[in-house]
Structure 1
Amino acid sequence: MNGLTQGLAQLFQQAYEQGIEDGRKKVVVDHKMIGRKQFDVEFGIKVDAFDKHYRNEEGFPKPEGDGKWYAPAVHQWLLNHQQLSN
């Protein structure tokens, strides 16, 4: 019975991790362009923090010619670069 319990626990863990991964792939941000001041409304990132900690990070999406960022690309970058504490 111990082997069965352990196998089920592993199966549930894999299903959970797959659910998390699938959820991360789901776009929850509108397909729109946003300016610097909109980062606070869209992502909870104040303009000063955006300029200091995000804007020039390696791989961070670049603004288009009008100085605006594609919101889903920013959202994906943030998801891929979040630091989770255990």
Structure 2
Amino acid sequence: MNDLLQGLAKLFSQAYLKGVEDGRKEAVIDTKILDRKDLYEEFGIKVDTADKYYLYQPDFPFIMQGTKRKYYAPAVHQWLLDHQQTSN
């Protein structure tokens, strides 16, 4: 019986941690369309930095409005999450 309780406790703990992890991935970003200069206000990315490191990456998300590139905030947020680097 003790093994069963320990197994259930471990299962509940794993489920809880998974829920916390999933919750952290939820976008808390307004669903708005941004231009280059809005990236600083929304994400803290300066225009020069955005141009140099982000906006022209092959998989960076954008939409065209006329002849201008625009950026859907939740897609940019997800891209940043997917491309973050961590030190091991």
Structure-2-length-normalised TM-score: 0.72
- Equivalent residue for 1:85? 87
Pair member with larger Rg:
2
Note the aligned Cα RMSD (angstroms).
2.5
Answering whether residue 64 of structure 2 is matched by residue 40 of structure 1, we say: no
Shift of the alpha carbon at 1:14? Answer: 6.0
Work out the CA distance in 1 between the residues paired with 2:9 and 2:58: 41
**Equivalent residue for 1:71, pick from 70, 73, 86:** 73
3-state SS of the aligned residue for 1:39?
helix
Q: Distance in 2 between matches of 1:14 and 1:64?
A: 41
| Structure 1 residue runs without a partner (length 5+) | none
Matches of 2:86 and 2:24, distance apart in 1:
16
Equivalent AA in structure 1 for residue 74 of structure 2: P
> TM-score under structure 1 normalisation?
0.74
Which sections of structure 2, spanning at least 5 residues, go unmatched? none
State percent identity of aligned pairs. Answer: 42
Higher strand share: 2
Cα distance in structure 2, aligned partners of 1:36 and 1:60 = 13
Tell me the secondary structure at the aligned position of residue 67 of structure 1.
strand
In the TM superposition, structure 1's runs of 4+ consecutive aligned residues that sit over 6 Å from their partners are: none
1:83 is displaced (CA, Å) by 1.0
Report the CA distance shift for 1:31/1:43 in structure 2 as closer, same or farther (over 3 A): same
Residue 80 of structure 1: CA displacement? 1.0
Number of aligned residues = 84
2:24 matched residue in structure 1? 23
